[in-house]
Structure 1
Amino acid sequence: MTDDALIEAARVSKAWPFEEARKLLKRYPDGRRPDGQPVVFETGYGPSGLPHIGTFQEVLRTTLVRRAFEALTGGAPTRLVAFSDDMDGLRKVPDNVPNQALLAQHLGKPLSRIPDPFEAGFPSFAAHNNAKLRAFLDRFGFDYEFVSSSEMYNAGAFDEALRGVLRTNQAILDIMLPTLRAERAATYSPILPVSPTTGAVLQVPVEVVDAESGTIRFTDENGEAVEQSALGGMSKLQWKVDWAMRWVALGVDYEMYGKDLTDSGVQSGKIAQVLGGRKPEGLIYELFLDANGEKISKSKGNGLTIEEWLTYGSEESLGFYIFPNPKSAKSLHAGVIPRAVDDYWQFRGQLAEQPLDKQLGNPVWHLLRTTDKAGEGAGDTLPVTYALLLNLVGVLGAGATREQVWSYLGNYVGDADPAAHPELDKLVGTALAYNRDFIAPGLVRQAPTANEAAALRELDQQLSGLEPDTSAETLQTMVYEIGKREEFGFASLRDWFQGLYRTLLGSDQGPRMGSFIALYGIANTRQLIAEALAR
């Protein structure tokens, strides 16, 4: 595949990362910034909490657009900035951290100036969470540059941008005040001074004394009038103003954000223009929902964490699940994991044989490029599906072990050795965990109906005459033919297979039965049938 062929295909691809990348091509028609600097992509992170699945999806999706833009432009230089808003004042004590009384003493102070409640050796609460963010992003192999808001403010790197805010203070007020309630508008200021007495970030009216020197005047918490510099970490900006200032100061060209920040994006875009900059291109994505269709909330704990997903599925399957339709809400709960795992491997297996235009629409093509592994593993497949693995583990029961599972895999997989199939071995571990937590506790195998029992007896009789190494296809054909026989009275083959799943596996859904019998073994399957008939 030549670069020219890729560029031509990317220009017309309907895959959403390319559609987003083409927005940047309209911004920079030759694919390069006029100043010769790399095109800047940004993601934001609020370090008052630990990184979570929302953090992952935003960095992943932004990286997908970044790599699509590079492909579209034949390798235009780019940067991804992971920005931590650690200069923000702590508004409330999070529910899920230790030493809450300690944090309560520092409410209002910048997160980077509050002691670490985890007592893990970090100089601040923000430093602890920032370290977790970097470790989190590194774990998934993302290419990014970490930028701390506090470090930028304290080092004076934002000083010139702050002067710009001070110069245009009234114009920014004209944008913001009409959007605020009267009570909020009465005390609103684009600039939030840091109190010289308490160190808190203050929400008080501010008078700009001298924009060029950065001097401001305000009333401190103790009622005293204070005149001090807004520069060098002595102030920060209101959220929407801060976002706009950051876009301008860092030259951000692309940033996506959630639907809940739609209004913030509009106002920040206007402020960026006042500051002499330009709102980045971007995508407004929908939010995750829980199993009941309710918005996921960190305080409610009704979502699925990264660690939970990786306990029951794979990193690749998480990326695969997140990839499609970012403008549509997604349910995020354990029930979606098995399908995501199998769909990922199905698409990965197809990739190598697809023509280029189809590859660019294949999520795996994009996912492999997020960590500079373009094409690696394309065409790979698993010898068994995750769904089939879960059915096997489900039959073995909650006490099943990895060694037991591999002993059964020997019926179906050549060279059934974990070292020879490391990806499958990972899924054996996650299948055992999924079965333990979600399948085994509610597993009930139903008694067969009269016609199901008759068909099961016929299946058992036919199995009794087969060799142990009979192929999965032969077994599948046999099961299929039994279900078609009029004497057993099934309205459709679907009814027969559902009967098998309910009586033998304790599930409403299941695998190809020929594959399951080959994997579990003919003798063991006959034992399952005997147990079902005994019910």
Structure 2
Amino acid sequence: PDNVPEQDMMAEHLGKPLTSVPDPFGTHDSFGAHNNARLQAFLDAFGFDYEFKSATECYTSGQFDETLLQILERHDAITGVIKPTLGEERRETYSPFLPVCGKTGRVLLAKIVETKPDAGTVVYEDEDGSLVETPVTGGHCKLQWKADWAMRWTALSVDYEMSGKDLIDSVRLSGRICQILGGEPPEGFTYELFLDENGEKISKSRGNGLSVEEWLEYATPESLALYMYNSPKKAKRLYFDAIPRHVDDYLTHLEKYGDQDEAARLENPVWHIHDGSPPDPEGHVTFGLLLNLVSVCNSEDPAVLWGFITRYAPDATPETAPILDKLVGYAIAYYRDFVKPNKSYRAPTDMERAALDDLVAALNALRADADAETIQTEVYEVGKRHDFEN
């Protein structure tokens, strides 16, 4: 992928399993281990109860061996499922098995010239033209992905699998292979594609989408859960401008929950997001209001923002409103990275400068305990004293 560092180093390892590629980020033993760690960190952050399985370990430890030997025994039946979906040239050489070269460690898209079920091996044509016999077990071969998917379903007794709309045909083919192996294809759910801000399909190699980690830098996990919950069978744009709306939509649903009857609560997304026990709402300060407040104050100091918030909601403090306190931090981060860099300023005209000086003097002359209506009236009077069109 072109959105990771160390491109020259990565190019040297093209064709190898990711667990055999050095980690370009320098944090783990391999690129595969790095990706696995990120997946597990995501699952941990959302409290998933899961058992992690490494495909490399399953191949090399022998956990997949029994199913791999079944695939070898039923090689012709399985290739018969896939070949009609391939072009003429690829159809001539297709096999579900991809030998791993013992010399280079690369996964070879090599022609399989013979299968030997009794020996548990295949014979393939190496890059130098020689014929090589290798076991299909013990990590000496990998599987092409549709067969690999079916093999995992069978070997690991997978009973539920979600997949994107673009994989509908692949699910069907892998399901047929699973049945050939004597397995039962899992129940499935097909979700629509995620699009970038331009309505284009998000590409892992281009990195043109918004990652889960990036979303969580600027908003709560609950807002992301709401984004995922809404319209799973419709294509959705996943980009930064979607964040504020989903934060406020979540707060709105949370506010409504307490006044709803049991049937309506079951239709409320927060019931599902919080496993039937959503927290109490904390007030009526929206994320949009916080973003406007940060922008107007031009401050990244939470204490400054809380000074205004407590004027608006006197009972709210960081201690009594922890959700709101988190939203203050998220609003500052969003302002810092997306609003502030795009702000443009100009020098005031002579008339505007005079009006601003007049406003400062008028506000300084007010009593310290002046209420909001008095302040607003004074601001309005200053505006009337100067020749503004609006």
Matching residue within 172, 178, 203 for 2:78: 172
Distance 1:99 1:293, change over 3 A: closer
The residue identity in structure 2 corresponding to 1:387 is: G
Give aligned pairs, total.
368
Measure the CA separation in 2 of the matches of 1:194 and 1:165.
Answer: 17
CA distance in 1 between partners of 2:54 and 2:374 (Å): 61
Secondary structure at the counterpart of residue 241 of structure 1: helix
Q: Indicate which of 41, 57, 60 corresponds to 1:135.
A: 41
Q: Give the whole-Å Cα distance in 2 for the aligned partners of 1:110 and 1:529.
A: 72
Aligned 8 A contact 1:346 1:381 in 2: no
Tell me: CA distance 1:117–1:395, structure 2 relative to 1, closer, same or farther (3 Å): closer
What residue number does 1:333 align with? Answer: 239
Matches within 5 A, 1:187-198: 187-198=93-104
Residue of structure 2 equivalent to 1:431: 331
Tell me the SS of whatever aligns to 2:160.
Answer: coil
The offset of 1:524, in angstroms, is 6.3
Contact 2:270 2:278 in 1 (8 A): no
- Equivalent position to 1:417, from 287, 293, 317: 317
Aligned positions of 1:492-503 closer than 5 A: none
Shift of 1:224: 1.7
Contact 2:2-2:205 at 8 Å conserved across structures = yes
Change (3 A) 1:396 1:223: same
Aligned residue runs from structure 1 range 369-380, under 5 A: 369=275, 374-377=276-279, 379-380=280-281
Q: Which range is displaced more, 129-138 or 348-357?
A: 348-357
Match of 1:47 in 2: none
Alignment match of 1:392 (pick from 293, 296, 302): 293
Letter in 2 for 1:98: P
Listed as ranges, the gaps of 5+ residues in structure 1 are: 1-93, 446-463, 470-517
- Contact residue 72 and residue 115 of structure 2 kept, 8 A: no
Query: What do the CA deviations read for 1:126-155 (whole angstroms, capped 9, x no partner)?
Result: 112211221122122222111111110100
Looking at structure 1, the residues matched to 176 and 380 of structure 2 have their Cα atoms a distance apart, in angstroms, of 68
The TM-score with structure 1 as length reference comes to 0.64
CA distance in 1: counterparts of 2:88 and 2:151, whole angstroms? 25
1:334 to 1:166, Cα distance in 2 relative to 1, 3 A? same
**C-alpha contact (below 8 Å) 1:195/1:221 kept by paired residues:** no
Secondary structure at the counterpart of residue 216 of structure 1: strand
1:355 equivalent among 261, 265, 290: 261
Who is 1:113 aligned against?
A: 20
RMSD of aligned Cα (Å): 2.7
- Residue 197 of structure 2 aligns to a residue whose secondary structure is coil
TM-score (norm 2): 0.86
Identity %: 50
Correspondence 1:252 to 2:158 = yes
1:96 aligns to 2:3 (yes or no): yes
- Whether contact under 8 Å (1:345, 1:382) holds in the other structure is no
Q: Which residue of 1 aligns with 2:360?
A: none
Alpha-carbon contact 2:153-2:186 (below 8 Å) kept? yes
**Displacement of 1:426 after TM fit?**
1.2
Q: CA deviation at 1:437?
A: 3.8
- Give me the whole-angstrom Cα distance separating, in 1, the residues matched to 2:147 and 2:307: 61
What does residue 88 of structure 2 align with?
Answer: 182
What's 1:65 paired with? none
The separation in 2 between residues aligned to 1:119 and 1:435, in whole angstroms, is 31
Counterpart of 2:302 in structure 1 is: 402
- 1:523 is the counterpart of 2:359: no
Report the CA distance shift for 1:387/1:442 in structure 2 as closer, same or farther (over 3 A): same
CA shift for structure 1 position 240 = 0.3
Equivalent position SS for 2:312: coil
1:100 and 1:438 map into 2 onto residues whose CA distance is 29
Cα distance, 1:529–1:424 mapped onto 2, change above 3 Å? farther
User: What's 2:183 paired with?
Assistant: 277
AA at the equivalent of 1:404 = V
TM-fit CA distance, 1:230? 0.8
* Structure 2: 5+ residue stretches without partners: 347-365
Q: How far apart are 1:529 and its partner, in Å?
A: 8.0
User: What secondary structure does 1:146 align onto?
Assistant: coil
SS at match of 2:311: coil
